[in-house]
């Protein structure tokens, strides 16, 4: 079945620096790749997503890139702020109802 690996598990950056989180997936049929942000004590919330017919997508300080050949996708956060501190999850879906999540990255942004 599908497997999603996410790295690093913990990431600490200075405010204003960039943060990059990387994921790889195993099923070449995967066609939808969402990223979720989970703040302490809350449920995950979608921050950006990308479909397999697109190589890159950007939304203000957040961007996601997808390399279908390498089965690899990444989240880039620029100009990080303390409120970006949270756990981030990547995920992959082949369509349908089942989405496989990565193990999560805990991001600390130091002021």
Nearer to other proteins, 77 or 91 (CB): 91
Print the binding letters for residues 33-62 with other proteins: x by CB under 8 A, - otherwise. -x-x----xxxxxx--x-x-----------
88 lines the binding site for other proteins (CB under 8 A): no
24 binds other proteins (CB under 8 A): no
- SS (HEC) of 48-85: EEEECCCCEEEECCEEEEEECCCCEEEEEECCCCHHHC
With binding defined as CB under 8 A, does residue 9 bind other proteins? Answer: yes
| CB-facing half-sphere around the CA of 24: CA atoms within 13 A | 6
Instruction: Choose, by CB under 8 A, the member of 20, 27, 32, 78 that binds other proteins.
Output: 32
In degrees to the nearest 10, what's the CA dihedral of 30, 26, 77, 14?
Answer: 160
Task: Find the shortest distance in angstroms from Cβ 44 to other proteins.
Answer: 5
> Cα–Cα distance between 27 and 40 in angstroms, integer?
31
**Closest to other proteins by CB, 1 or 111:** 1
């Amino acid at each position: 079945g599908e497997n999603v690996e996410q790295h690093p598990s913990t990431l600490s950056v200075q405010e204003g620096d960039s943060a990059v989180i990387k994921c790889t997936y195993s099923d070449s049929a995967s066609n939808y790749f969402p990223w979720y942000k989970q703040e302490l004590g809350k449920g995950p919330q979608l921050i950006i997503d990308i479909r397999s017919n697109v190589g890159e997508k950007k939304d203000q300080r957040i961007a996601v890139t997808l390399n279908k050949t390498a089965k690899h996708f990444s989240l880039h956060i620029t100009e990080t702020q303390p409120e970006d501190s949270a756990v981030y999850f990547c995920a992959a879906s082949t369509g349908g109802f089942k989405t496989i999540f990565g193990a999560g990255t805990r991001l600390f942004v130091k002021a």
